[in-house]
Amino acid sequence: MASTRTMRKTTKAVAVIAAILVLAVPVAIWYRARALRREIESGVPRIGIIDFYGLKKISAQQIRARLTVKEGDVAPIELDPGVMTALAKIVWRLSGQTDLDKNAVVAAVNRVPGVVRASVEFVMGGGDPRGTLFVGIEEVNEPLFEYRPVPHGTVKLPAAIFGAYDQLMNALPEALAHGAQEDDSQGYALHSDPKMRALEEKAIAFDVANLALARDVLKNAAAPDQRIVAAWLLGYASDKRAVIADLVDASRDPDETVRNNATRALGVFMEYAAQKPELNITVDPAPFIDMLNSLVWTDRNKASMVLIGLTENRPADTLRLLREKALPSLLEMAHWKDSHAWDALELLGRIGGMDEKEIDDARGRDDRQSVFASLNR
């Protein structure tokens, strides 16, 4: 009998412990999810502006009706899958933030009738604690910016130069926060921050002996991270003309960061070329005019940079091509509330025949109407 009583007491004790665990574990997970949410919130800025692009037949109001974030919300980010992340998202929603996951925001916009694909990009700048969420869409039967096929080669860069790029990217945010300036006067980016400058000088030295390898990697390496670093390296080539074709080809790479690095390098090249016409560094503007129709915000941003360099000396053929092929996209971008609108406005002013002083004065007054009026002169 004593044994039976003992067994019953033991069974009850086990049941009580099990009940406590059943309650305690979810509560512990819940509090950890709340902590994760606070951790994410403390490190992510908020949305100050929402701007749109790619809208032809679909209106901004239609997109906003499905958009799961608004001005004032924490900017959506890419979250790793997992139970804790899922619970953090639930806590987030209960606290009033509709969506934290960037992929969920994209999926919501994709459900708008007539949208083929959507893209969102959060951009900070100008020291403002809030940034801009750019929401882009691709509509049915509208022009596409097409990418080149994925390469399949096994060629690789040395680990040391690969590591230098990682160190540079890690150093960049802190350097910019402390006011680091970029000098493009030599045809490549050199920063005033000593750590960044030393890494950029490594790229210059690497290209002297290994330019052929960097070109090979950019064109043929299957690994996107290899092509990303190769595109950065080619931006430091002393012979700009030797790598123009490689970088133009990479501006249609299937990887967004490869395209960004390649096109940024070309933008610096074109600014340099405008100051040194005797070097005869030229680029066909057509691929970058096409790029103004891209779904990806960084493509449009860097294409504008290249085209600003290409039109600095007002080549009539390029300005005519911009008017014929890119006017709708430029006008849409020029209406952004974000200051990046002035990249498009600068191009529109040149198309409209404004001189640089007129454009600079209009920018200083934020006078967009005078730029739009120049197109009807």
The DSSP line for 244-259 is HHHHHHHTT-SSHHHH
- Of 146, 151, 300, whose CA–CA distance to 215 is shortest? 151
N-term to C-term CA, the chain = 106
pLDDT per residue as tens digits for the range 272-291: 998 888 988 989 999 999 99
Q: What pLDDT is recorded for position 104?
A: 87
* Span 2-139 CATH architecture: Roll (3.10)
Neighbours of 263 (CB within 10 A): 28
User: Per-residue pLDDT averaged across 256-263, rounded?
Assistant: 96
Backbone angles phi, psi at 46, to 5 degrees: -105, 160
57, 78, 223 from 9: Cα distances, Å: 72, 51, 62
Residue 61: exposed, middle, or buried by beta-carbon count in 10 A (0-12, 13-18, 19+)? exposed
Amino acid at 200: E
Q: Where are the domains of the chain?
A: 2-139, 159-374
59, 84, 86, 232, 291 from 81: Cα distances, Å: 32, 8, 7, 31, 32
Question: Does the structure show a pLDDT above 60 at 21?
Answer: no
The tokens of 208 are what?
Answer: 């002297």
Give residue 33's pLDDT band: very low, low, confident or very high (50, 70, 90): very low
Q: Do domains 2-139 and 159-374 have the same CATH topology?
A: no
Higher pLDDT, 38 or 78: 78
Backbone angles phi, psi at 190, to 5 degrees: -125, 125
Give residue 28's pLDDT band: very low, low, confident or very high (50, 70, 90): very low
The tokens of 356 are what?
Answer: 């640089």
- Of 111, 36, 26, 115, whose CA–CA distance to 67 is shortest? 111
pLDDT per residue as tens digits for the range 343-370: 999 999 999 999 999 999 999 999 999 9
Q: Quick one: what percent of the chain has pLDDT higher than 90? A: 70
> Is the domain defined by 159-374 classed in CATH 1.25.10.10?
yes
